[in-house]
């Protein structure tokens, strides 16, 4: 059985890598029993911080990646 492959290059949005690295770091630090629920809470906290006028983690990550 063969699997078709493609030469398509996908672009990761700016800041996405940094955002996922931050989640991975927190998961490793906290060791939650339910990683999916923890991720939902993590991203909700980041969204609330951004809406409150704090630093936007995606924008910050995009700056770090440049």
Structure confidence by residue, pLDDT tens digits, 9-52? 888 888 888 889 999 999 999 999 999 999 999 999 988 888 88
* Cα 66 to Cα 39: distance, rounded to the nearest angstrom: 26
59: three-class secondary structure by DSSP? helix
Residues 6+ apart with CB under 8 A from 7: none
Query: For residue 45, what are the domain limits?
Result: 35-65
pLDDT score of 5 more than 70: no
The first and second tokens of residue 21, run together, are 């690295």
pLDDT of amino acid 43: 92
Query: Does residue 47 sit within a domain?
Result: yes
Q: Judge whether 42 lies within some domain.
A: yes
pLDDT at 57 over 60: yes
pLDDT of 65 reads 66
Q: What is the pTM of this model?
A: 0.69
* Cβ-Cβ contacts under 8 Å for 43 (sequence gap 6 or more): 23
50 assigned to some structural domain: yes
Residue 11 inside a domain? The answer is: no
Number of domains comprising the chain: 1
- Residue 38: predicted pLDDT: 97
The verdict on residue 40 lying in a domain is yes
Does residue 10 lie within any of the structural domains? no
| Continuous segment of H or E residues that includes residue 50 | helix 35-51
């Amino acid at each position: 059985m063969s699997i078709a492959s493609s030469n398509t290059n996908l672009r990761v949005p700016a800041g996405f890598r940094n955002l996922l690295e931050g989640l991975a770091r927190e998961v490793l630090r906290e060791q939650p029993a339910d990683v999916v629920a923890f991720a939902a809470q993590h991203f909700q906290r980041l969204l609330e911080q951004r809406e409150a006028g704090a630093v936007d983690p995606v924008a910050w990550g995009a700056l770090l990646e440049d």
